[in-house]
């Protein structure tokens, strides 16, 4: 009886956790705005809260997936895992395209939307790993020094 009760309590807690995840996304709107007062060109606004929500919920869903009580909510958890992953991928791609476009237009970094910093940081960290490798430094000494 104790095991069944513990399993039911654990599953109920996971259901409540997933309800909170779903509830946070109800009515959430993507912050978009006109670019330079253009009626036909839209860009992302401040996505920092959205990025935080995606990251937090990705961790929450992973934690729930690792629970021994997940069986009763497995389908819901898998569905939300896919949704969060897709939303994160789309947002990253959009921010990457915006950043590339802004860099090519040589606009001031002050005009970059919040969220692009995340893309720049991730790219820089990736490149840092490459340029800090000894074999790359030997093969491309000038480029490594500039980096």
Same domain, 79 and 7: yes
34 with 95, same domain?
yes
Residues 78, 145, single domain; the answer is no
The winner for highest mean pLDDT among 8-17, 98-107, 119-128 is 8-17
The tens digit of pLDDT for each residue in 74-106 reads: 999 999 999 999 999 998 888 777 777 766 666
pLDDT value, residue 116: 61
Q: In Å, how far are 47, 50, 55, 92, 129 from 33, measured between CA atoms?
A: 12, 15, 23, 18, 36
Q: How far is CA 126 from CA 38, 119, 120, 122, 135, in A?
A: 35, 11, 10, 6, 16
**103 and 119 share one domain:** no
For the cut 60, the answer to whether the pLDDT of residue 109 exceeds it is no
Give the model's pLDDT for residue 12.
Answer: 94
How many folded domains does the chain comprise?
Answer: 2
Domain limits for position 138: 115-147
Per DSSP, 31 falls in state -
- Least Cα distance to 57 among 34, 106, 12, 23 occurs for 23
User: Number of C-alpha atoms within 13 angstroms, CB side, residue 124?
Assistant: 7
Q: Do 68 and 133 share a domain, yes or no?
A: no
pLDDT score of 124: 67
Is the CB of residue 7 less than 8 Å from the CB of residue 73?
Answer: no
Burial tier of 57 (Cβ tally within 10 Å: 0-12, 13-18, 19+): buried
């Amino acid at each position: 009886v104790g095991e069944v009760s513990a399993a039911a309590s654990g599953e109920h807690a996971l259901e409540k956790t997933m309800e909170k995840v779903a509830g946070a996304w109800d009515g959430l709107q993507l912050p978009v705005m006109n670019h330079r007062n253009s009626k036909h060109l839209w860009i992302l606004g401040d996505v920092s809260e959205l990025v935080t929500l995606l990251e937090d919920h990705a961790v929450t869903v992973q934690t729930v997936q690792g629970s021994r009580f997940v069986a009763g909510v497995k389908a819901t958890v898998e569905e939300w895992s896919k949704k969060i992953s897709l939303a994160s991928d789309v947002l990253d791609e959009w921010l990457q395209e915006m950043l590339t476009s802004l860099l090519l237009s040589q606009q001031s970094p002050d005009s970059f939307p919040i969220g692009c910093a995340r893309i720049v940081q991730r790219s820089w960290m990736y490149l840092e790993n490459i340029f800090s490798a000894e074999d790359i430094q030997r093969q491309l000494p000038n480029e490594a020094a500039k980096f």
